[in-house]
């Protein structure tokens, strides 16, 4: 049986490991620390490409749309394979605007969403408040996307770990920093020894740039910090987006407000500036929050790329090595589709979505 070695135990790496194992490969995951210990576990778990992507639809949008379509079956399968449940709420979203001047862009967004078969409805401020009574009276209009959903990211990570283990994936955590064995395209050196794989998948999130020298190719992935805070309630029926951030209620009673986008290297601390901004924005959207203070604040590092698209596919000069990184704001959402694409690449099967725009070689050194 051919073997796949996945470097990185976030949701992208674990999903790839699970999918490859399902297709009959021997799979090992190596993780420098704890699986899900970085952006994956810190995420608010939004599955909301229609609200997150404001520009025209492109290959990235289609990738997100495909992954959202895969989610219901994927969640069912991961729950079955892990014997775990985790929150998967198909509650829909409201993208709220507060000024008439923003209506045109909301209307044009709805137009192209319709062209792509996405269900969405433009609501007046009053109609939006009927759907979500806690919204401030200042709301002018909203776009309602019933298909958008969210999951509880820490629960998803735990289920993925269990699903991998139950299906026979070997997970080595606390393996320290991984490096390619000199001149080798099939061996990775870790604190736990040298691990071999006929195919090696690098799913190392914001740290993926570390492979540039060894692979002799450009991997322009860099960390963008997302600061988040959580309140105890109030309960929301939908995910609420504005141009400034999002609010999402979890079934455990917490209301998550996110998220900053700041450049702070690999620093995952929160700042009073970042959290204060979130607090005042949240109070504007939900006036009930004026009496509340967040009980929990944290940050994660999103892996951003130079052109905003992830890197998914083989390294041109070393086709036994694949990269799956740079998913930026959509790592949780894109985990199923990335797993399928990488497994198809390894098996040399046709892809169901165009992936040319995501090929790592687009950034070759010149």
Identify which of residues 52 and 148 has a Cβ nearer to ligand GLY in the complex: 52
Angle between helix 331-347 and 11-22 (nearest 10) = 40
Contact 269, 277 (CB under 8 A): no
Tell me the closest approach of the beta carbon of residue 205 to ligand GLY, in angstroms: 13
**Interaction site with ligand GLY (CB under 6 A):** 44, 46, 52, 226, 258-259, 302, 329
Closer CB to ligand GLY, 20 or 118, in the complex: 118
Residue placing its CB nearer to ligand GLY in the complex, 197 or 223: 223
**Separation of CA 120 from chain center:** 22
Nearer to ligand GLY, 135 or 304 (CB): 304
CB of 164 to ligand GLY, least distance (A): 24
Nearer to ligand GLY, 109 or 302 (CB): 302
Q: Which is nearer to ligand GLY, 175 or 275 (CB)?
A: 275
> Per the structure block, which two tokens stand in for 285?
């959207």
Of 20 and 236, which CB lies nearer to ligand GLY in the complex structure? 236
Of 17 and 259, which CB lies nearer to ligand GLY in the complex structure?
Answer: 259
């Amino acid at each position: 049986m051919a073997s796949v070695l996945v470097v990185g135990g976030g949701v992208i790496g674990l999903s790839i490991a699970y999918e490859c194992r399902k297709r009959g490969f021997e799979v090992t995951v190596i993780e420098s620390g704890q699986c899900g210990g970085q952006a994956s576990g810190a995420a608010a778990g939004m599955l909301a490409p229609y609200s997150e992507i404001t520009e025209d639809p492109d290959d990235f949008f289609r990738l997100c749309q495909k992954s959202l379509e895969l989610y219901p079956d994927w969640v069912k399968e991961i729950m079955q394979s892990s014997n775990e449940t985790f929150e998967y709420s198909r509650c829909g979203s409201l993208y709220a605007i507060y000024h008439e001047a923003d209506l045109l862009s909301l209307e044009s967004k709805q137009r192209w969403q319709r062209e792509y078969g996405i269900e969405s409805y433009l609501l007046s401020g009053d109609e939006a408040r009927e759907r979500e009574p806690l919204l401030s009276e200042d709301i002018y209009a909203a776009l309602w996307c019933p298909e958008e959903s969210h999951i509880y990211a820490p629960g998803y990570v735990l289920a993925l770990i269990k699903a991998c283990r139950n299906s026979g994936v070997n997970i080595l955590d606390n393996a320290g920093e991984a490096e390619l064995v000199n001149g080798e395209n099939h061996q990775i050196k870790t604190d736990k020894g040298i691990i071999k794989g006929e195919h090696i998948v690098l799913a190392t999130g914001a740290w993926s740039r570390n492979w540039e020298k060894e692979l002799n190719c450009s991997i322009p992935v860099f960390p963008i910090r997302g600061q988040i805070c959580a309140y105890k309630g109030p309960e929301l029926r939908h995910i609420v987006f504005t141009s400034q951030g999002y609010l999402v209620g979890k079934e455990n009673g917490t209301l998550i407000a996110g998220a900053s986008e700041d450049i702070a290297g690999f620093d995952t601390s929160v700042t009073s500036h970042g959290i204060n901004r979130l607090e005042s924005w949240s109070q504007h959207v939900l006036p009930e929050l004026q009496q509340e203070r967040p009980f929990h604040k944290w940050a994660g590092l999103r892996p951003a790329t130079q052109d905003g698209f992830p890197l998914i596919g083989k390294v041109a000069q070393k086709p036994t090595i694949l990269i799956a990184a740079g998913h930026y704001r959509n790592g949780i959402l894109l985990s199923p589709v990335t797993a399928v694409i990488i497994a198809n690449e390894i098996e040399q099967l046709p892809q169901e979505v165009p992936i040319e725009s995501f090929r790592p070689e687009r950034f070759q050194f010149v």
